[in-house]
Structure 1
Amino acid sequence: MNLKTLTMAVVFGLTLGPALTVADSNMGSMSGMDKKESTGPVQSRGVITAINTEKRKITLNHEPIPELNWPSMTMGFPVAPEVNLEGLGKNDSVFFTLTPAGKGQQITNIRKQ
């Protein structure tokens, strides 16, 4: 690898890492999404694309959620402590409930379809 390629790779890595962190924590800035907040739980369907039971996070490719004015997309959600994640895995079709938590939404119920 020549010096120019190495320098470009380092610069790209240093700028992309923080950008991805900000994008993950600030879902309200995504195109097609209003900052409309739900006043109560909303339900939807989706497919699990990633699951981290240790960190209690699930990434879902979900259907549109009209109550939040969200189009169909893939995004990660924290999972409430009381939710049992046993038996869930990648590529499972699920029915889930989102409830407002902090500046976003968290999964408060999830089950296989």
Structure 2
Amino acid sequence: MTMIRLTIALGLTALTAACGKKAETPVAAETNQAAPAAAMSGDMGNMAMAPAATAPIKAKGHGKVTAIDKTAGTVTLDHGPIPEAKWPAMTMTFKAAPAVTGAAKVGEKVDFDVTLTGSAGEVTAIQKQP
């Protein structure tokens, strides 16, 4: 019983001594930068990475106009997959020029051209499907 009390007392003492201390990040001597965390190791071969390219991607899509906000300069489309962006079918709001927002009507099925920069897109042309 005395051994258990001694173990608990030593444990509490160690915890109390550690309170308020910040964990230190190991520093690599040669570069003066923090060493990589151990949590970063492992197999990341199946992890999808965002493209590093900064150039915009031109893509085409098909969908239905669900909303138009001429004041904000946006059009919301319920569109099918866009393979160039590796996007599944979804409903998404895009930036759009006044010529685009003026040419579209809510409820219309449309074909559209979109310029993708990162994860954002801008509809550059829109045509009503026949």
Are positions 1:93 and 2:113 aligned together?
A: no
Percent identical residues: 34
User: Of the candidates 93, 97, 103, which is equivalent to residue 80 of structure 1?
Assistant: 97
Larger radius of gyration: 2
Contiguous gaps of at least 5 residues in structure 1: 1-32
Cα pair 1:34 1:69 within 8 Å, conserved: no
What root-mean-square deviation, in Å, do the aligned CA atoms of Structure 1 and Structure 2 show? 2.5
Cα separation, 1, equivalents of 2:66 and 2:90: 11
8 A contact 2:57–2:117 mirrored in 1 = no
Provide runs of 4+ in structure 1 moved above 4 Å.
36-39
Larger RCO (CA within 8 A; separation ≥ 6): 1
Partner amino acid for 2:68? I
Q: Taking structure 2 as the reference length, what is the TM-score of the superposition?
A: 0.52
Residue 70 of structure 1: how far off its partner (Å)? 0.5
Aligned to 1:23: none
**Partner residue, 2:71:** 54
Tell me by how many angstroms 1:103 deviates: 5.4
Change (3 A) 1:86 1:39: closer
**Count of equivalent residues:** 80
Deviations 1:6-59 (A, max 9, x none): xxxxxxxxxxxxxxxxxxxxxxxxxxx974577431001000111111211011
Q: Secondary structure at the match of 1:94?
A: strand
SS in 1 for 2:63: strand
Distance 2:82 2:118 in 1: 19
Look up the equivalent residue of 1:89 and give its one-letter code. K
Q: In structure 2, what residue type is equivalent to 1:91? A: G
TM-score, normalising length: structure 1: 0.60
Could you list the runs of 5+ residues in structure 2 that have no partner in the other structure? 1-47
